[in-house]
């Protein structure tokens, strides 16, 4: 059958193109801005492609003037250590909650489900007090990130864990495997896809977190979210370099998404229970 071009079809195409443009524009603008100099951004060519591709902006933002490289390292450390802890503790807790029978199991599960939606802002000041002594270390951010992100990890994992047949554990038990060995060498490898799903969700939360980062960090351990805000003051006159900084801050998420977009979408759906 031949394709027919009706008015409706054309309208659909036009709408799709417009909408495509809308979704891409912020990224496009940020990237082109990072390659121009200030006079070009504010002058004749605010939205077009740069006339000269100034890669030097990136060197500026990354190197001496801007402290982006520091902030980046801090962000990476905080995010990955948090991810390691949430995954490990989340897995253990999900396994203990769903695969073992003990008193108060249901109550604990309900409590976790409910507690997940309580915003961390309700606990800010006491946290400030507890973590004040740690503000010069990465732990000041890692600890609250882990505490606030474990419940959602447990919820995502528990959806997967119930699909693993009990026969696996029974077989392991008959073969003489202890409980730790069953959990960590038999169930854990089977949970890898679920762990990745949960980890991506937590990654997006932690990488973009601003409030705790602005409260609990001193300059040496400052993360990107706070860092780029400060950078904007520093680069009041050099918008190109500021744009470069913004691109650098966004790059890890962007790369992650490019490589595994359908995985990321799966994480979003799995983590949708969180407000």
Site for other proteins in 50-109 (CB under 8 A): 89-90, 92-93, 95-97, 100-103, 105, 108
Residue 118: CB atoms within 10 Å: 12
Closer by beta carbon to other proteins, 221 or else 226? 226
Can you give 101-137 as a three-state secondary structure string? CCCCHHHHHHHHHHHCCCCHHHHHHHHHHHHHHHCCC
Query: Does an H or E element contain 16, and which?
Result: helix 7-33
Which stretch, 28-36, 51-59, 76-84, 190-198, contacts other proteins (CB under 8 A)?
A: 28-36
Question: Among 39, 115, 190, 193, which residue interacts with other proteins (rule: CB under 8 A)?
Answer: 115
Q: How far is the CB of 163 from other proteins (least distance, A)?
A: 15
Q: Are 246 and 30 in contact (CB under 8 A)?
A: yes
CA dihedral of 263, 264, 269, 275, whole degrees rounded to 10? 160
Find the binding residues for other proteins in span 253-272 (CB under 8 A). Answer: 253-254, 257, 261-262, 264-265, 268-269, 272
Q: How far is the CB of 105 from other proteins (least distance, A)?
A: 7
Per-residue burial over 130-149, b if 16 or more Cβ lie within 10 Å, else e, is: ebeebbeebbbbbbbbbbbb
- Say whether residue 3 binds other proteins (CB under 8 A): no
Closer by beta carbon to other proteins, 102 or else 189? 102
Find the binding residues for other proteins in span 211-240 (CB under 8 A). Answer: 211, 214-215, 224-226, 228-229, 232, 239
């Amino acid at each position: 059958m031949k394709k027919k071009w009706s008015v409706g079809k054309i309208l659909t195409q036009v709408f799709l193109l417009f909408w495509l443009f809308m979704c891409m524009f912020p990224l496009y603008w940020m990237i082109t801005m990072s390659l121009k100099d200030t006079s070009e951004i504010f002058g004749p060519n605010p939205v077009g492609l740069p006339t000269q591709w100034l890669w030097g902006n990136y060197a500026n933002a990354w190197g001496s003037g801007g402290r982006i490289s520091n902030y980046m390292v801090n962000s990476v450390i905080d995010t990955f250590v948090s991810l390691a802890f949430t995954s490990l503790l989340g897995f253990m807790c999900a396994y203990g909650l769903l695969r073992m029978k003990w008193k108060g199991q249901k109550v604990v599960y309900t409590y976790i489900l409910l507690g997940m939606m309580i915003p961390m802002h309700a606990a800010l000041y006491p946290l400030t007090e507890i973590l004040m002594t740690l503000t010069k270390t990465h732990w000041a951010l890692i600890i609250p990130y882990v505490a606030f992100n474990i419940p959602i990890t447990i919820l995502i994992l528990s959806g997967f864990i119930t699909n693993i047949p009990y026969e696996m554990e029974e077989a392991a038990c008959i073969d003489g495997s202890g409980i730790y060995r069953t959990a960590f060498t038999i169930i854990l490898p089977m949970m890898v896809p679920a762990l990745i799903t949960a980890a991506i969700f937590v990654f997006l939360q932690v990488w973009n977190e601003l409030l705790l980062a602005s409260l609990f960090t001193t300059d040496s351990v400052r993360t990107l979210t706070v860092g780029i805000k400060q950078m904007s003051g520093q680069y009041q006159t050099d918008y190109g370099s500021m744009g470069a900084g913004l691109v650098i801050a966004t790059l890890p998420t962007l790369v992650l998404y490019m490589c595994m977009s359908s995985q990321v979408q799966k994480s979003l759906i799995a983590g949708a229970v969180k407000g």
